[in-house]
Amino acid sequence: MLGVEHTVIESVDLETDGRGQEMLVAQVRVKAGAARRCSRCRRRFPGYDTSPTPRRWRGLDLGTTPVYLQATTSRVTCREHGVVVAAVPWARPGSRFTTAFEDTAAWLVCHATLSVVAMLLRVAWRSVADIVTRVVADRAATVDRLAGLRRIGIDEISYRKGQRYLLCVVDHDTGRLVWAGKNRTQETLNRFFDDLGADRAAQLTHVCADGAQWIHDVVAVRAPNAVVCLDAFHVVAWATEALDQVRRTMVNRLRAGGHHDEATALKGSRWALLKNPPNLTGDQRATLAGIAKANGGLYRAYLLKEQLRAIFQAVELTDARALLGGWIAWARRCRLEPFVRLAKTIKNYQKLILNAVEHGLSNARSEATNTHLRLLTRRAYGYHSPEALIAMADLTRGGLCPPLPGRS
């Protein structure tokens, strides 16, 4: 019932805490065979000393009652790691929670909102973040996430209101996050290629990245065989941003002219403009039709965004090339400043965009991962460190979610 192995349960008692909450406290000790092992390398060594005061670990609730394991801890003298805390079979080193509790929490984080996790398990968000960091470190040590990579996407993702960045590498074929590091610098990207190694980097066939030249420079040196592409996700994101700028300018202009009702109506049109057409609701379709009638400039911006998205659906490269050329010509003379500027950018990256179309690299899986990572960074969890944020991304998108304890 406690979900522990290699553990002797000496007694179980009900205690009541200061607030009248009952809890179950199991007095346990490590079975002889699992005792006196270094918590870092798991090898067996002579004992060093034993702590005079017992320590408690939170376990999974039994019904509605919180459960704690209580044991005295000891230290061993490891030949490699010196005097270290001895491993206990029921918990990860340094944790105040049992492994079963931590795996359950990590699994829940992958499948439910954090407020649900915190309420169900009765833990603070900060504890959840620490748990996720430990579970990810534990599981990452057992798998090689960089094996077999062929097509990857490299992405800069901002957090803390755009003040800080993570560099994320996604496997284009599985949609999995395979590597993440803090800061968007050449040094960070070089660290990824160091981890990957020259042999595996030579196996990369395609690298998708946003428009950042420094990424392209590093890739050219470290993955010389890869075709560099600019994928749909980033290009459409640029167009979406340009469209939003056009809309904001028009809202401000209406306000300045005293047309407050029209300004408010246009402000409410944001989602109708930004959504993919198949996902529009009836009301949003009506909003768009209204914009087409009353606001030619904004509707033109909308069509420009949609047309650019359509280029990535072209099957033939020649079609895509013609469409892209036509788009650039149209955007240049559309008299909407953000799109005139975008036309210049797109022209610069024409070749990389067509690379993505040619190699069919508009991948829904990696886009879903990108969208998820951006959502993750936007939520106000107050990540106390980039490492905590990376662990959360690795857990939920890196294939490191543990199985639920007790289900095989």
- Note whether 38 binds Zn ion by CB under 5 A: yes
- Note whether 47 binds Zn ion by CB under 5 A: no
Looking at 20-28, 41-49, 97-105, 301-309, which segment touches Zn ion (CB under 5 A)?
A: 41-49
Range 296-315, binding Zn ion (CB under 5 A): none
CB of 54 to Zn ion, least distance (A): 24
Element (H, E) at 109: helix 99-111
State how far the Cα of 153 lies from the Cα of 227, in Å rounded to an integer: 12
CB of 34 to Zn ion, least distance (A): 15
Selected binder of Zn ion within 49, 80, 241, 319 (CB under 5 A): 80
- Note whether 41 binds Zn ion by CB under 5 A: yes
3-state helix, strand, coil in the chain (%, to 5): 50, 20, 30
Selected binder of Zn ion within 30, 78, 168, 320 (CB under 5 A): 78
State how far the Cα of 59 lies from the Cα of 323, in Å rounded to an integer: 60
Bridge-based pairing state of the strands 65-71 and 151-159? unpaired
Q: Which is nearer to Zn ion, 134 or 184 (CB)?
A: 134
Q: Are 75 and 86 in contact (CB under 8 A)?
A: yes
Q: Which is nearer to Zn ion, 35 or 41 (CB)?
A: 41
3-state secondary structure of 186: helix
> Mask: binding to Zn ion, 81-100, rule CB under 5 A, as x and -?
x-------------------
- Note whether 187 binds Zn ion by CB under 5 A: no
Q: Which is nearer to Zn ion, 10 or 80 (CB)?
A: 80
- Note whether 182 binds Zn ion by CB under 5 A: no
Query: On the CB side of 138, how many CA atoms lie within 13 Å of its CA?
Result: 18
Nearest residue to 314 via CA among 375, 394, 207, 232: 232
Q: Which is nearer to Zn ion, 88 or 251 (CB)?
A: 88
Residue nearest to Zn ion (CB): 38
Per the rule left: phi > 0, alpha: psi between -120 and 50, beta: everything else, 399 is left
